Amino acid sequence: MNGLMMQQPLLISNLLKHAERHHGEREIVSRRAEGDLHRTSYAELAVRARRLANAIEAHGIGFGDRVATLAWNGYRHLELYYAVSGSGAVLHTLNPRLHPDQLTWIIEHAEDRMLCFDLSFLPLVEAIATRLPTVKAFVLMTDRAHMPAASKVPNLICYEELIESHEPTYEWPVFDENTASSLCYTSGTTGNPKGALYSHRSTLLHSFAAALPDALNCSAQDVILPVVPMFHVNAWGLPYVACLVGAKLVFPGPALDGKSLHDLFEAEGVTVSAGVPTVWQGLLSHVEAHGLAFSTMRRTIIGGAACPPAMLSSFQDRHDVHVIHAWGMTELSPLGTVCVLKPHQRSLTPQDRSALQAKQGRVVFGVDMKVVGPNGDALPHDGKTSGDLLVRGPWVISSYFKGEGGDPCINGWFHTGDVATIDADGFMQITDRSKDVIKSGGEWISSIDIENIAMAHPAVAMAACIAAHHSKWDERPLLVVSTRPGASATREQLLSFFEGRVAKWWIPDDVVFVDAIPLGATGKIQKNRLRDRFKLHRLPTDGP
């Protein structure tokens, strides 16, 4: 027997309709690729999204067709989020930091029919346009005044002209909530990139969960600045959450340097931001170098990579900005866990509290997780036993787009590829990526723990720990370090820094200095490149 409740599918267009009807006056502020600051509102967003929906349909984009974007965080990108998914097409956000060959491969694999891109990416698109047979329409996300006089891109369409030439009346179609809404590729370190194909249902449920008080805690009071790109797992869902709660949105465009971000935070009264540690590093350096403060920012969500303890302390202790450490993946839409303390943990000593906040946190309702051993058996939640982290939930993928890479799930659980512990309070801590873990004499050493300690050394700008071959122990840790400008440290100074901070046998066997640690398109350290580079490195501890 079914309940007798209204059957309303969970659709992304509902978010926009809600924001227009009930938060129409709330602002959306964008620093544009053109350089200026632009102000609009949810009411205007809704009107322009409807015009855009008419426009893309007029260009032959049908139900399920993919529309790609190469764009920074801004109001036009937001209009595409709602117009494309709302009309039943699929929004495919491309990561512009990928190599052009990878982009070409992904666009063809996704069979994108339309490509919309910011001014900054005109040279990139000009370079690859002829290699994109599936793309029937190229749209430059700017106004007539900024259109190039001539371009190598065939039939280049001006976004603002496209919008203006279509009517603002459009009825958002109602369809099955399991319909695909958006597509985001994740580039593993091996193999081809794989696409996560989200649905309207998964996106809406994720939005509810992300806005909860113990998750990102978003309300109409908030002024949200997503530093995390809209091409990176839908900016962690914030463009949807903002409509759901009626928060003001502030978009930084391409200007992600410390000064630009801090200026925008202060000018627009930003209360909450979200991004990866590498961006916060730049922001904190700027703020500290100029003796600045955060006058409205209350909290920042840090994810994408583990937040170094030194960064956590800097935000909280020196700047009174609460850090919310979070963990997720492209395959999780992305939210999995958030490190929000439980009541009995409020009375911890500052040191224990910091240690706890360094964990990735507890699941939000909807997601379940467990750690398992090599034979698949669940391991205890004791905060010590680490194993493969498995997750499941209605916003976790069941397979990749077009079935690439085989089945990522076993018995209904998605294999994250992370190695983690879970403590008795349900707080998960990533100890490593399963492929990064260092196996010394059959025991595991966490490369992340080693890196976090190294990063706390004043001379270290960035550190990566990888496994080096050892004839007795099989693998031993090798620390790769880039130093801060003007600072220096010797191999011996760095190694002695570990003493007392970690078990003796976890201390790296050697240190090598590099000019720069290689970062991938999403700001993560590319350990596979380091492993390649140092695969013949001979450890001094490995006997003659």
Question: Does 267 sit near a copy of itself (CB under 8 A)?
Answer: no
Asked if 55 and 158 touch (Cβ cutoff 8 Å), the reply is: no
Best CA proximity match to 430, nearest among 496, 497, 383, 382 = 383
* Active-site hit among 186, 300, 421, 483: 186
383 or 518: CB nearest a copy of itself: 383
| 411-430 positions binding a copy of itself, by CB under 8 A | 412, 414, 425-426
Considering only residues 289, 320, 365, 376, which one is a binding residue for a copy of itself as defined by CB under 8 A? 365
Q: Residue 32: which of 164, 141, 139 has the closest Cα?
A: 141
Active site residue 331: yes
Segment interacting with a copy of itself (CB under 8 A) among 2-10, 122-130, 298-306, 514-522: 2-10
Side chain identity at residue 495, one-letter code: L
Q: Which stretch binds a copy of itself (CB under 8 A): 91-99, 128-136, 208-216, 485-493?
A: 208-216
Q: Based on the residue annotation, tell me whether 186 is a catalytic residue of this protein.
A: yes
Residue 322 in the binding site for a copy of itself (CB under 8 A): no
Q: Select which of 439, 472, 490, 505 is catalytic.
A: 439
Query: If we measure between CA atoms, which residue out of 414, 373, 499 comes closest to residue 202?
Result: 414
Which residues 145-184 are close enough to bind a copy of itself by CB under 8 A? 176, 178-181
Q: Does 67 bind a copy of itself (CB under 8 A)?
A: no
User: Shortest Cβ distance from residue 122 to a copy of itself (Å)?
Assistant: 30
Sheet with 137-140: strands ordered across: 90-93, 66-70, 112-117, 137-140, 157-158
User: How many Å apart are CA 159 and CA 71, to the nearest integer?
Assistant: 13
**490 neighbors 458 (Cβ within 8 angstroms):** no
Q: In whole angstroms, what is the distance from residue 516 CA to residue 528 CA?
A: 15
Spell out, one character per residue from 374 to 413, where the chain touches a copy of itself: x when CB under 8 A holds, - when not.
------------------xxxxxxxxxx-------x--x-
Please tell me whether residue 328 binds a copy of itself under the rule CB under 8 A: no
Nearer Cβ to a copy of itself (332/437) = 332
Binders of a copy of itself among residues 97 to 136 (CB under 8 A) are none
Report whether 386 contacts 444 (CB < 8 A).
Answer: yes
x-marked contacts with a copy of itself along 210-229 as a string, rule CB under 8 A: -xxxx--xxxxx--------
Q: Which of 184, 230, 244, 454 binds a copy of itself (CB under 8 A)?
A: 244
- State yes or no: residue 199 binds a copy of itself (CB under 8 A): yes
Task: Identify the CA nearest to 313 among candidates 169, 452, 468.
Answer: 452
Q: Is 197 in the site for a copy of itself (CB under 8 A)?
A: yes
Identity of the residue numbered 527: K
Instruction: Count Cα neighbours of 537 within 13 Å in the Cβ-side half-sphere.
Output: 24
Spatial distance between the Cα atoms of 176 and 110, rounded to a whole number of angstroms: 22
Residue 8 touching a copy of itself (CB under 8 A): yes
Q: From the list 12, 13, 15, 530, which residue makes contact with a copy of itself (rule: CB under 8 A)?
A: 15
The residue written with tokens 């190469």 in the block is: 70
**The one catalytic residue among 177, 331, 451, 475:** 331
Written as one string, the DSSP assignment of 57-73 is HHTT--TT-EEEEE--S
CA-wise closest residue to 42 among 11, 9, 18: 18
Q: Does 362 bind a copy of itself (CB under 8 A)?
A: yes
Catalytic site positions? 186, 331, 439, 444
